[in-house]
Structure 1
């Protein structure tokens, strides 16, 4: 009953809601969400003072005439999102994976917008809170929805699928991300497979990278419609040539014609993301020329393989997130790039649990003995290990900042890679 009450309020106010009292302009329904470091119930009264029409709370100590008391605000938000999702009979594509989700989603949204009015996940709103917010933000006239799904524990993607109800699925890859929550690579594999499980049950369609053995084996003999890409001999889409300078450029054969896709993407690893995007675009009948323009116009932002040219250096800013696989691939691609005066600034990788030391040491071994790269490390873990590899390191970002002030870097190509918590975007202005 509470779900119906909340839903009717949202219907009345045009599905205007807020989860942060500071963002209220007037007329929103406030959801008092809880997290490890915050309790939205504390701000329910402030939200209504700022103009919220009511607040959904789960602590009776904050109940007033304009509050709706529920058992769990997050669960209520999800229930309302599911009810709203049922209003739409449109294609819904879910994108999961250890790396490349956001880049693939952003490119694909631009490609599909040539034909559809596309609603898609903004930023990284891809978890148990972000997905319901994405669903509730979908305009009534949307013709296609792309939902990014992230997870750091088993069962999360299953729950996100229950809300979003995708008919199409894409797992970009499976790697050593969030090992603290998944315990092992096998745990990551099981979690990402939850999307395949759902799509199979719904008799939907799965796009997958044929050259990714893990993904191919997970799909196996599943009774699901499979759409491979990056497949040798594929007649619709095949790679002719790839080059990097430093941005990736792809020459591809599409339906017997050659097309060049100039991107603003750095790194060989982004080829998989581009091919996934093109494969989905072809399936939904987007002309190759239109995809060409959409890809060329897309520029990464938010520190995801973002290339910035300063007055002194060229930066490859990839400090939004990092895990062992994405860091290793970034280093490998960077080393293959021609030129002198190359530097890598690497920060700690988070959420690795018991694998933390082992995975950081693997990166250091990969870097050891390299004469082509200047290496700077930052973070508690890297700093504790760096001396054994004779590498320059700093325990904190502030120490790194002071070093860069005292020893300015010039005329260099610099890869900056770290987990988001390291906040390495703070050093860009010094480069």
Structure 2
């Protein structure tokens, strides 16, 4: 079966599923493979559960009814999504970066949705499977698609650009993320810049932070570039007014007060404003989109519980985002400030150095109490409260509850699941 023929079937049944636990009526099930599973083994179950068809790459399974046999299910999913992306008229904005991708994606979507029919990556489904699924969510009436692209190795962004074929692009920043895969900060810059390379090669517009010297140098020769800056009048001016705790900014004499904490979210808001202006939104629409956006999923959430003022930023962490979170926490007001820091993953040989650096930084900021959780932080050289596992932390908090009315920062990598601390307060 050709991709064109499969696409005709998809147009009749425009729902795709890759998990038999989430089958929806009349969807198409794609039997993907993983390290510990083979979707072909569940294709029959998918059809029995309501899928109209199952795309498989096992000839024996394909003998059953409603099976579509292909050479490689994953490659077929990717090819189908690229075909569908070009079949539809939606403009695609590609988005990557070390930190803030998902928040920036959601802010851009919140702004553009005030005027346009917009779809965007769900959650952080931004890899070689998530990007195709996002593209296949585009409808005939979709005007703009905001596609988040993640990577932890070189050439991954290049590959995803080949699927999504973005019309525009934005890189949030270049930070110390996935150093195990990229090898160094230089590797991070090279990998994330693959989005720039695609846009430059195809003469597509680039949005960028003109106050970031790395971004500025990378696209110096580009003609179709649109930047924002706090001070440089050559670019669109947006001023940071305050961030205690919520980011407040000023643009064209209009004040926008977000529901996002931390200076590090200023640039995320700026990107949404800049892109909104490019797509001809007026500032009232932009202001509405940003001010109505409420962060969720453990990303820079402010929570009040049992008299405590809590900043929950436990969705993910790397040295760059950890440093930004600590610097922001230092600036906000609070009489008794407690920090809970969980291990940062995917740092490879740099793990020991980076965890020591973050613990030293936290000590220098002189918080009332600092708690380090995880095997990497446990080996750092200091006299802080250290817990090799979450269970050890749990026992400590049960034995010695924290003081009332504390201001608390919770920050760590996803695998640490530090949101569990909320249940202990």
- Specify if TM > 0.5: yes
1:187 is displaced (CA, Å) by: 1.3
Deviates more, 1:137-146 or 1:68-77: 68-77
For residues 146 and 263 of structure 1, the distance between their equivalents in structure 2, rounded to whole angstroms, comes to 20
Match 1:404 to one of 392, 397, 401: 397
Show the counterpart of 1:94: 94
Show the counterpart of 2:349: 354
Q: SS at the partner of 1:368? A: helix
For residues 62 and 95 of structure 1, the distance between their equivalents in structure 2, rounded to whole angstroms, comes to 38
Q: SS at the partner of 2:63? A: coil
Show the counterpart of 2:311: 316
Given the alignment of the two structures, is residue 248 of structure 1 paired with residue 242 of structure 2, yes or no?
Answer: no
Show the counterpart of 1:228: 227
Given that residues 199 and 224 in structure 1 are in contact (C-alpha distance below 8 angstroms), is that contact kept between their aligned partners in structure 2? no
Show the counterpart of 1:259: 254
For residues 364 and 106 of structure 2, the distance between their equivalents in structure 1, rounded to whole angstroms, comes to 37
Q: SS at the partner of 2:255? A: strand
Q: SS at the partner of 1:35? A: coil
- The 1:88–1:5 alpha-carbon spacing in structure 2 relative to 1, beyond 3 Å, is closer
For residues 99 and 277 of structure 1, the distance between their equivalents in structure 2, rounded to whole angstroms, comes to 15
Given that residues 118 and 146 in structure 1 are in contact (C-alpha distance below 8 angstroms), is that contact kept between their aligned partners in structure 2? yes
Given the alignment of the two structures, is residue 380 of structure 1 paired with residue 375 of structure 2, yes or no?
Answer: yes
State the TM-score, normalizing by the size of structure 2. Answer: 0.95
User: Structure 1: which 5+ residue stretches go unaligned?
Assistant: none
Q: SS at the partner of 1:338? A: coil
Show the counterpart of 2:189: 189
Q: SS at the partner of 2:312? A: strand
- The 1:241–1:62 alpha-carbon spacing in structure 2 relative to 1, beyond 3 Å, is closer
Q: SS at the partner of 1:389? A: coil
Deviates more, 1:133-142 or 1:282-291: 282-291
RMSD of aligned alpha carbons: 1.7
State the number of aligned residues. 423
Given that residues 204 and 224 in structure 1 are in contact (C-alpha distance below 8 angstroms), is that contact kept between their aligned partners in structure 2? no
1:360 is displaced (CA, Å) by: 0.8
For residues 27 and 308 of structure 1, the distance between their equivalents in structure 2, rounded to whole angstroms, comes to 40
1:61 is displaced (CA, Å) by: 5.3
Q: SS at the partner of 2:231? A: coil
Given the alignment of the two structures, is residue 392 of structure 1 paired with residue 390 of structure 2, yes or no?
Answer: no
Q: SS at the partner of 2:227? A: strand
Q: SS at the partner of 1:47? A: helix
Given that residues 158 and 195 in structure 1 are in contact (C-alpha distance below 8 angstroms), is that contact kept between their aligned partners in structure 2? yes
For residues 241 and 35 of structure 2, the distance between their equivalents in structure 1, rounded to whole angstroms, comes to 45
Given the alignment of the two structures, is residue 426 of structure 1 paired with residue 416 of structure 2, yes or no?
Answer: no
For residues 355 and 173 of structure 1, the distance between their equivalents in structure 2, rounded to whole angstroms, comes to 20
The aligned runs of 1:165-244 (5 Å cut-off) are 165-221=165-221, 223-230=222-229, 232-234=231-233, 237-244=236-243
CA offsets per residue over residues 205-261 of structure 1, 9 Å max, x none?
A: 11111111111122232x4411111152437743445212311222x132xxx1111
User: Structure 2: which 5+ residue stretches go unaligned?
Assistant: none
